[in-house]
C-alpha cells in the first residue's frame, strides 16, 4: 500500500505569518524581511465596513469578473474554472477582459458598478493604485473579492477576501528545489512577470532572498522583463547565452507557457539543452514541457482551481459563512516523476455517490462496501491534493450517513450512533486522509455486522422501507423524512421503493392508511376528521379524497360490520 502522505490536505486560509519587523525598509533587498509588507500583505490589514451577507445561498446570484486576458493560456484556463464553478453553484457569471490596459480596467470597474451585480471579482493588473480602484466598488456597497494577483496592502480594506496562489511561498519552494538540482552553486537568470504586478515582485525577490539564505554560492547573473512574450523572452535568453556562455547554468521563469516557450526555443536553437529550467505553472503547456524534459520542475498552480477558488469563496459568503481574509491555492511542485498523476488532477470527475454507499451498507453488501472504499482511495490518490475544508465536510457527511443507518435499524444500533460527540472526536483524531477512510470503512463494517446480527439474512432496502411504512404509517411520513432516517437522498429512496415494490412511496402509504381507516370505520362510528388523524392524515379533506379514490365511497358511507348501521 502506498504511504499515507500520498494524499495531502491543503487549507486555503492557513499560512504561518511571522511577526512584522519594526522597520522592514532598513533591511537590504536580498533579505526577506525587507519584503514583509508585500509578502504578507492583507493578513493584518484593517477592514472597513463590509456589506452584510444575505445568507440565502449562491443560486441565482449575478457576478462580474474583471481580469487581464491578453491571450495567455493561464487566464484562459482560469476562466474555465470560473465558469464551471459558477455553473455548479447556479450563479450567473459575466467575464470582462482588460487586456493589461489600466485605463480599460478602470472603465470596466465603473461599468460593473453601474450594473450593480451581487458581487464583483477583480484580478488587479497593478498592485500600486489598486486601493483606489477597489474603493469605488466598496463605496457602492457591492461585495468585492480580489483574485490571482495581490493588490497593495491598503486595498485589503475594501475586500471580502483575496484568493489565489501564494506566489512568495511557491517561489521559495521552487528556489529550494532549483538550488538542490543545481548543487547549490552556479550562475542563473530570471525571466520576470509583468512589471508592476504583485507576481513581478514575488517571483523575483522570493527567489533571490531564498537563495541568498540557503545557497549563497549561487549567483544571479541577470533579470529580464519580457512581458511574458515568447519572442521577447527568446531574444533575452539568446543575449544571456552570448554574454555569459557556460557560466549560465540555470533559468527560472515566472511563466511556464508563452515565456517558457521562448526560453526553450532559444536553448534549442543554441544547442544549450544542458541548462536547468524551472518555472511557475501549471498550464497544460507547462506540463507538456515537463513530459518532454524541457522543464525540471514547475509550481503546481492550477489555473482552473485559481478561478474556482474565487467562486467558492463567493458562494461561502452568500451562504453567510465566515470567510478568511486570504485563501491560498495549495503549495506544491511538479517534477517528471509525478507529472502523470498531476495531469489526472485536471480531469472532471463525477461527485462521490454517498447514496450508493448507504444502499450497500443497509443491504449488508460487504463486497460492495469494500469496492466503494477501494475506489474512493484510488480516486483521492489520483487527486493527490485535497482541500482540507472539502475533505472534512465530506468525511462528516459520510459519517452522518452511516450513523443514520445505525439509527434506522430495527431495533436501532444504539451503541454505534447514540454518542455523536464520541464518533466525531474519533473522526477528527485520524492523522491522515488514508487513516480517516480506513476508520470510516471499519465503522461501516461494524454497522453491517450489527445489522446482520439482527436478522438471519439482509433484507433488501425496498422491503425494509415497506416494513417501516406498515409499522409507522400513523406518524408524519414523507420521502424527505425517511431519507434523513435512512441516510439516503429522497430521490434515490423513491426510486428504490418503486423498483422494489412496483408502486410509488405515496401510493403505498395511502393504501396502508386507507386500509387501516377502513378497519376503524367498519368497527365503530367515528367522524372522518378523527379517523384521518388516527391513520396519519393531518388534512381531513385530503383523507376523504384519497379514501374515495381507493374505495369508491366516502368514509361516512362505510357500514359497520355486524350492526347494519350507516
Each residue of 127-178: pLDDT tens digit?
A: 888 889 999 999 999 999 999 888 888 889 999 999 998 889 999 999 999 9
Kindly state whether residues 309 and 370 are assigned to the same domain. Answer: no
Structural domain total, the chain: 4
User: At 251, phi and psi to the nearest 5?
Assistant: -130, 130
Identify the three-state secondary structure at position 99.
coil
* Whole-number Å distance between alpha carbons of 99 and 108: 11
Residue pointed to by grid coordinates 379533506: 541
CA distances from 219 to 70, 235, 531 (A): 33, 21, 91
Residue predicted with more confidence, 419 or 321: 321
Range with the poorest average pLDDT among 291-305, 352-366, 443-457: 443-457
For the domain that residue 472 is a member of, what is the CATH number?
Answer: 1.10.10.60
Find all residues with CB under 8 Å of 336, minimum gap 6, and list them: 290, 291, 293, 296
pLDDT at 340: 62
The answer to whether position 329 is within a domain reads no
Kindly state whether residues 177 and 296 are assigned to the same domain. Answer: yes
The answer to whether position 108 is within a domain reads yes
The answer to whether position 565 is within a domain reads no
Taking alpha carbons only, the member of 382, 287, 305 closest to residue 84 is 305
DSSP letter string over 426-463?
HHHT-SSHHHHHHHHHHHHHHHHHHHHHTSSSPPPHHH
Domain boundary residue, one of 453, 487, 506: 453
DSSP letter string over 154-201?
GGGGG-SEEEE--HHHHHHHHHHHHHHHHTT-EEEEEEE-STTSHHHH
User: At 299, phi and psi to the nearest 5?
Assistant: -75, 145
Across residues 309-331, what is the average pLDDT? 88
Residue predicted with more confidence, 203 or 339: 203
pLDDT at 455: 63
Average pLDDT over the chain reads 86
The answer to whether position 29 is within a domain reads no
The answer to whether position 33 is within a domain reads no
Size (the chain), residues: 566
* Whole-number Å distance between alpha carbons of 264 and 232: 13
For the domain that residue 204 is a member of, what is the CATH number?
Answer: 3.40.50.2300
Find all residues with CB under 8 Å of 502, minimum gap 6, and list them: none
Percent of the chain with pLDDT over 90: 40
pLDDT at 338: 67
Kindly state whether residues 71 and 156 are assigned to the same domain. Answer: yes
Kindly state whether residues 161 and 112 are assigned to the same domain. Answer: yes
Kindly state whether residues 131 and 213 are assigned to the same domain. Answer: no
Domain boundary residue, one of 427, 453, 479: 453
Kindly state whether residues 274 and 423 are assigned to the same domain. Answer: no
Kindly state whether residues 219 and 142 are assigned to the same domain. Answer: no
The answer to whether position 501 is within a domain reads yes
pLDDT at 561: 59
Kindly state whether residues 155 and 192 are assigned to the same domain. Answer: no
Across residues 259-273, what is the average pLDDT? 95
Across residues 292-303, what is the average pLDDT? 89
Q: Where are the beta strands (DSSP E) in 202-247?
A: 218-225
Helices (runs of H) and strands (runs of E) counted in the chain:
23, 14
The answer to whether position 402 is within a domain reads yes
Expressed as residue numbers, the domain containing 225 is: 167-300
Kindly state whether residues 437 and 521 are assigned to the same domain. Answer: no
Query: Tell me: the pLDDT tens digits for 386-417?
Result: 777 778 878 888 988 888 888 877 777 776 66
Count of alpha carbons within 13 angstroms of residue 172, beta-carbon side: 14
Kindly state whether residues 529 and 436 are assigned to the same domain. Answer: no
CA distances from 471 to 250, 341, 505 (A): 76, 52, 14
Positive/negative CA dihedral, 352, 356, 362, 366? negative
* Whole-number Å distance between alpha carbons of 259 and 531: 79
Instruction: Judge whether 522 and 558 are in contact, CB under 8 Å.
Output: yes
Beta bridge partners of 67: 97
Instruction: Judge whether 236 and 226 are in contact, CB under 8 Å.
Output: yes
Domain boundary residue, one of 426, 453, 480: 453
Kindly state whether residues 296 and 179 are assigned to the same domain. Answer: yes
Residue pointed to by grid coordinates 493604485: 129
Kindly state whether residues 150 and 259 are assigned to the same domain. Answer: no
* Whole-number Å distance between alpha carbons of 189 and 266: 14
Range with the poorest average pLDDT among 66-70, 320-324, 329-333, 542-546: 66-70
Burial class of residue 228 (count of CB atoms within 10 Å of its CB; 0-12, 13-18, 19+) = buried
Query: Tell me: the pLDDT tens digits for 172-211?
Result: 999 999 999 999 999 999 999 988 788 889 999 999 999 9
* Whole-number Å distance between alpha carbons of 509 and 515: 10
Q: What is the DSSP letter of 15?
A: -
Question: What is the reported pTM?
Answer: 0.65
Instruction: Judge whether 35 and 210 are in contact, CB under 8 Å.
Output: no
The answer to whether position 174 is within a domain reads yes
Amino acid at each position: 500500500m502506498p504511504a499515507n502522505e500520498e494524499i495531502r490536505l491543503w487549507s486555503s486560509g492557513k499560512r504561518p505569518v511571522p511577526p512584522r519587523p519594526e522597520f522592514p525598509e532598513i533591511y537590504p533587498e536580498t533579505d526577506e524581511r525587507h519584503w514583509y509588507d508585500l509578502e504578507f500583505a492583507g493578513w493584518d490589514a484593517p477592514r472597513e465596513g463590509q456589506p452584510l451577507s444575505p445568507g440565502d445561498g449562491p443560486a441565482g446570484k449575478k457576478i462580474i469578473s474583471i481580469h487581464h486576458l491578453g491571450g495567455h493560456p493561464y487566464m484562459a484556463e482560469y476562466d474555465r474554472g470560473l465558469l464551471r464553478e459558477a455553473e455548479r453553484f447556479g450563479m450567473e457569471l459575466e467575464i470582462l477582459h482588460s487586456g493589461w490596459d489600466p485605463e480599460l480596467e478602470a472603465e470596466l470597474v465603473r461599468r460593473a458598478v453601474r450594473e450593480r451585480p451581487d458581487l464583483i471579482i477583480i484580478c488587479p493588473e497593478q498592485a500600486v493604485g489598486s486601493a483606489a480602484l477597489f474603493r469605488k466598488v466598496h463605496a457602492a456597497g457591492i461585495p468585492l473579492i480580489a483574485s490571482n494577483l495581490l493588490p497593495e496592502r491598503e486595498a485589503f480594506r475594501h475586500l471580502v477576501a483575496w484568493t489565489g496562489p501564494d506566489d512568495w511561498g511557491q517561489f521559495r519552494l521552487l528556489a529550494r528545489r532549483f538550488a538542490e538540482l543545481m548543487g547549490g552553486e552556479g550562475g542563473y537568470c530570471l525571466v520576470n512577470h509583468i512589471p508592476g504586478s504583485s507576481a513581478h515582485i514575488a517571483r523575483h525577490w522570493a527567489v533571490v532572498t531564498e537563495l541568498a539564505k540557503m545557497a549563497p554560492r549561487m549567483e544571479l547573473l541577470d533579470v529580464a522583463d519580457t512581458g511574458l512574450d515568447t519572442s521577447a523572452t527568446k531574444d533575452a535568453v539568446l543575449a544571456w547565452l552570448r554574454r555569459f556562455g557556460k557560466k549560465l547554468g540555470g533559468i527560472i521563469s515566472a511563466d511556464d507557457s508563452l515565456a517558457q516557450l521562448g526560453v526553450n526555443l532559444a536553448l534549442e536553437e543554441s544547442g544549450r539543452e544542458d541548462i536547468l529550467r524551472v518555472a511557475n505553472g501549471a498550464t497544460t503547456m507547462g506540463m507538456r514541457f515537463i513530459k518532454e524534459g524541457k522543464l525540471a520542475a514547475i509550481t503546481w498552480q492550477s489555473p482552473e482551481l485559481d478561478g474556482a477558488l474565487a467562486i467558492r469563496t463567493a458562494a461561502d459568503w452568500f451562504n453567510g459563512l465566515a470567510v478568511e481574509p486570504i485563501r491560498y491555492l495549495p503549495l506544491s511542485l511538479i517534477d517528471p516523476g509525478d507529472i502523470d498523476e498531476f495531469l489526472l488532477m485536471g480531469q472532471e470527475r463525477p461527485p462521490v455517490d454517498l447514496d450508493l454507499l448507504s444502499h450497500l451498507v443497509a443491504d449488508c453488501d460487504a463486497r460492495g462496501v469494500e469496492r466503494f472504499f477501494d475506489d474512493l482511495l484510488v480516486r483521492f490518490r489520483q487527486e493527490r491534493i485535497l482541500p482540507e475544508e472539502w475533505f472534512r465536510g465530506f468525511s462528516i457527511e459520510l459519517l452522518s450517513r452511516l450513523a443514520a443507518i445505525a439509527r434506522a435499524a430495527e431495533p436501532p444500533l444504539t451503541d454505534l450512533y447514540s454518542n455523536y460527540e464520541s464518533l466525531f472526536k474519533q473522526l477528527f483524531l485520524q492523522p491522515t486522509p488514508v487513516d480517516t477512510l480506513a476508520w470510516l470503512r471499519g465503522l461501516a463494517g461494524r454497522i453491517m455486522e450489527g445489522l446482520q446480527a439482527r436478522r438471519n439474512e439482509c433484507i433488501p432496502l425496498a422491503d425494509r422501507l415497506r416494513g417501516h411504512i406498515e409499522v409507522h404509517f400513523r406518524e408524519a411520513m414523507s420521502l424527505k423524512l425517511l431519507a434523513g432516517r435512512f441516510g439516503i437522498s429522497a430521490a434515490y429512496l423513491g426510486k428504490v421503493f418503486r423498483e422494489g415494490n412496483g408502486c410509488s412511496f405515496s401510493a403505498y402509504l395511502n393504501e396502508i392508511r386507507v386500509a387501516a381507516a377502513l378497519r376503524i370505520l367498519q368497527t365503530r362510528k367515528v367522524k372522518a376528521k378523527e379517523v384521518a388523524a388516527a391513520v396519519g392524515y393531518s388534512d381531513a379533506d385530503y383523507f376523504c379524497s384519497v379514501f374515495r379514490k381507493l374505495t369508491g365511497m366516502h368514509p361516512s358511507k362505510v357500514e359497520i360490520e355486524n350492526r347494519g348501521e350507516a
